[in-house]
Amino acid sequence: MSIGRPKITIVGAGNVGATAAHWAASHELGDIVLVDIVDGIPQGKALDLFESSPVEGFDSAIVGTNDYADTKDSDVVVVTAGIARKPGMSRDDLISTNANIVGSVTDSIIEHSPNCFLIIVSNPLDVMVTVAHRHCKFPRERIMGMAGILDSARFRSFIAMELNVSVEDVHALVLGGHGDSMVPLPRYSTVAGVPITKLMDQNRIDELVQRTRDGGAEIVEFLKTGSAFYAPGASIVEMVEAILKDKKRILPCAALLQGEYGEENIFMGVPIKLGAGGVEEIIELDLEPHEMEQFKKSADHVRELTSSL
C-alpha cells in the first residue's frame, strides 16, 4: 500500500464487492484490498480493475487476496460476504448461512484491523450488523450497516421516473429495517424542496412506497441468478467517502439505537451524521403517530429475526 492513502478493505469479491471496489477506486478514495475465500477471484478482479486505471485516470493500488493478513491496519472495512437471494427468497431466508459467514469474517477483520470502521452490507442487513457487533464489540460510532441509502435511492429513482424530473432534485428518506418492513417517509421526500405529498396523489405515492419495499426483489426476479449490485455498490461508497473525507453527510444507515426513537440495543435504519468519527450523531425526526407505528413494527420484525440466531 502507498504511504498516506487510506486503506479500504472489501470482503467479498462478488458483484456487490467488486462494484464497490470499482466505485471506490474511480473516486480515488484510497488503496483497496479485495478479499474472498475463493482462490483467484479477488486476484483476477483486482488486477482487471487496476488495469482500467490508466484509461479511467485514477491512482489507487488494488490488491486481491485470500489472506486477511493483507488487510492489516485498514481504515474502513466493508463486508459484503454471504450468499445472495434467488427468485422467491426473502432477505430473511439467508439468516443462518450468512450469520456464520459474517461472524467468521468479523473475527478475521478485527484481528488485523482492530481500529477500523466497519460497514456491513450482507443480508438480512439489520441482523448481520448485530452479528458483527457481537463479535467485534465496537462502539456504535465504528460499526454500521448500509441499507437506507440504497432504499432511499430506489425511492428517489421511482419518484424521478414518475414525475419526469432530474434525480438530482429528488431527495427521499427510508427508515427502519432493510426488508418488507422498511418505512419510506413521503412527508420527508421532496422534489426541489417540495414534498411529494403535494405533487402526486396518495394512491400513486402508496404504489411507489410498495415498489421501494419490493425494489430488491424486483431486480432478483429479472436477474434470476443473483441480486442487485450497481446501486448497492454506489451506496457503499457514499458511506466510505463520507467517513474518509469527513463530509458530515446526513444519511440513512443502520445504527445502534440507545434510546433514540424509543428503542434500545437494536440496529435500525435512521438518519445519521457520518464523518471522520463514524456515526457522529443520530438524527431524531419528529414522526407522526402512523409513521412511528410503522417504525415500531419494523423494529419488532428485526428483533424477531435477531432472536432466531
DSSP string, 7-43: EEEEE--SHHHHHHHHHHHHTT--EEEEE-SSTTHHH
DSSP state of 52: T
Q: How far apart are CA 216 and CA 22, in angstroms?
A: 21
Say if CB 204 and CB 127 are below 8 A apart. no
Q: How far apart are CA 107 and CA 118, in angstroms?
A: 12
Q: How far apart are CA 99 and CA 235, in angstroms?
A: 22
Contacts made by residues 39-44, CB under 8 angstroms, sequence distance 24+: 39/66, 41/13, 42/13, 42/66
DSSP state of 81: -
Place of cell 441480486: 227
Helix (H, G, I), strand (E, B) or coil at 252: strand
Q: How far apart are CA 115 and CA 122, in angstroms?
A: 21
Task: Please name the residues in contact with 210: beta carbons below 8 A apart, sequence gap of 6 or more.
Answer: none
Q: How far apart are CA 94 and CA 110, in angstroms?
A: 24
DSSP state of 116: -
Closest CA to 151 of 117, 126, 169: 126
Q: Which three cell numbers stand for residue 90?
A: 426473502
Catalytic center residues: 178
